[in-house]
């Protein structure tokens, strides 16, 4: 399990709290080839730079506001108070371009990336342009920000979105896979970057250690084998943790009662088609039929 689960700090590299799968990442991941992620926490006025490389990138403010410069062109990214406050502006940079990111307020920023060859234009996607999808129903309700999906963004290789799951709900469910190139399925690596928080309205007590907050926002992520390739992940996740899905059934991503769960997804693979085509685990796919008689969780959508 260790090679697929990276708790906060375990994949750090200089100023980056997370650096996995990039051309310059110091933490190697055996068998990982198509996606990458960098995450940094910056003080107000701090600057971080990415050199030009054969990677397409999308800059995603997680908390706070940022400015970015791509080959001399400046962009202002209106951020958000947190990942639970609705969509943010994001910036697709294309390939072969140096990127400089500066924090105007202090906060966290993610850069999703994928090795790529075909050039597409730099594009600023404003928060109000982001397609917001409410997926599932009942306790499988979740909110999806589809700013980097094929329908919303022209890009070469990757598919990028973010998902918010209210406390007590299950996301990435029913378990599914995308690890073969065949009719109805595409082969895609997938990165899950997580953040968690105490759900609004939850009572706050004192923890066993006597701390005033007395809380430990936590979620859970599951990945298991779909064929002869072994994989078995059942991980606790908190803010800053990463789970990699090279293949296999994955789901659910579970928001524990009392704690909301966020994750940023980055997917790409070797196939010709840039599309998210999946197969459900046949033991659990039937659950989709139950959503027809249920309402979407009334806590959604999460907005500012």
Sheet holding 132-135, edge to edge: 5-6, 242-245, 189-198, 259-268, 159-165, 142-148, 132-135
pLDDT above 70 for 213: no
The ranges assigned to domains in the chain are: 2-292
Cα-based distances in Å from 82 to 157, 195, 266: 28, 10, 19
Whether residue 204 is predicted with pLDDT greater than 80 in this model: the reply is: no
Q: Please report which confidence band the pLDDT of residue 269 belongs to, taking 50, 70 and 90 as the band edges.
A: very high
pTM (2 decimals)?
A: 0.96
- Predicted local distance difference test score (pLDDT) of residue 210: 43
Q: Report the C-alpha gap between 237 and 84 in whole angstroms.
A: 16
Q: Dihedrals φ, ψ of 129, to 5°?
A: -85, -15
Q: Could you tell me the pLDDT band of residue 212, with boundaries at 50, 70 and 90?
A: very low
pLDDT digits (tens, 9 = 90+) for 143-164: 999 999 999 999 999 999 999 9
Tokens of 95: 């390939």
How many other β-carbons are positioned within 10 Å of the β-carbon of residue 154?
Answer: 12
Give the mean model confidence (pLDDT) for residues 120-131. Answer: 97
The confidence score (pLDDT) of residue 2 equals 63
Q: What is the DSSP string of 217-251?
A: --EEEEEE-SSSS--EEEEEE-TT-EEEESSSEEE
pLDDT digits 0-9 by tens, 215-260: 899 999 999 999 999 999 999 999 999 999 999 999 999 999 999 9
State pLDDT tens for residues 87-110: 999 999 999 999 999 998 999 999
pLDDT band, residue 211 (cuts 50/70/90): very low
| 207: confidence class by pLDDT, cuts 50, 70, 90 | low
CA distance 59 to 79: 11
182-201 residue pLDDT tens:
999 999 999 999 999 999 98
User: CA-to-CA distance for 250 and 172, rounded, in angstroms?
Assistant: 7
Provide CB contacts within 8 A for 36, sequence distance 6+: 20, 21, 22, 23, 25, 55, 112, 113, 114, 115, 191, 266
Residue 1 pLDDT exceeds 60: no
pLDDT of residue 214: 72
Counting residues of the chain whose pLDDT is more than 70, the rounded percentage is: 96
Helix or strand run (H / E) with residue 133: strand 132-135
Q: For the domain with range 2-292, which CATH number is right: 3.30.450.40, 2.60.120.10, 2.40.50.840, 3.30.420.40?
A: 2.60.120.10
Q: What is the mean pLDDT of the chain?
A: 95
Distant-in-sequence, close-in-space partners of 146: CB < 8 Å, separation ≥ 6: 130, 131, 132, 133, 152, 161
């Amino acid at each position: 399990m260790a090679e697929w689960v990276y708790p906060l700090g375990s994949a750090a590299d200089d100023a980056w709290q997370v650096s996995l799968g990039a051309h310059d990442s110091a933490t190697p991941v055996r068998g990982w080839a198509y996606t990458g992620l960098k995450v940094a926490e910056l003080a107000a006025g701090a600057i971080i730079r990415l050199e030009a490389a054969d990677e397409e990138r999308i800059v995603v403010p997680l908390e706070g506001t940022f400015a970015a410069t791509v080959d001399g062109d400046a962009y202002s990214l209106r951020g958000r108070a947190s990942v639970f406050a609705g969509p943010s502006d994001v910036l697709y940079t294309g390939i072969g371009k140096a990127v400089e990111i500066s924090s105007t307020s202090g906060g966290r920023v993610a850069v999703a990336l994928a090795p790529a060859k075909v050039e597409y234009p730099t594009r600023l996607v404003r928060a109000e342009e982001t397609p917001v999808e409410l997926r599932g129903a009942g306790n499988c309700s979740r909110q999806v920000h589809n700013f980097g999906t094929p329908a919303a963004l022209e890009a070469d290789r990757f598919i990028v979105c973010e998902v918010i799951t209210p406390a007590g709900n299950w996301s990435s469910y029913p378990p599914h896979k995308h690890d073969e190139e065949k009719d109805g399925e595409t082969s895609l690596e997938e990165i899950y970057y997580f953040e968690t928080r105490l759900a609004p309205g939850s009572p706050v007590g004192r923890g066993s250690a006597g701390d005033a907050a007395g809380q430990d926002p936590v979620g859970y992520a599951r990945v298991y084998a779909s064929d002869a390739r072994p994989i078995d992940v059942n991980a606790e996740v908190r803010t800053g943790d990463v789970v990699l899905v090279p293949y296999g059934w994955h789901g659910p991503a579970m928001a524990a009662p009392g704690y909301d769960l966020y994750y940023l997804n980055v997917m790409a693979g070797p196939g010709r088609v840039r599309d998210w085509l999946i197969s459900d685990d046949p033991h659990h796919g039937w659950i989709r039929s139950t959503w027809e008689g249920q309402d979407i969780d009334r806590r959604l959508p999460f907005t500012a």
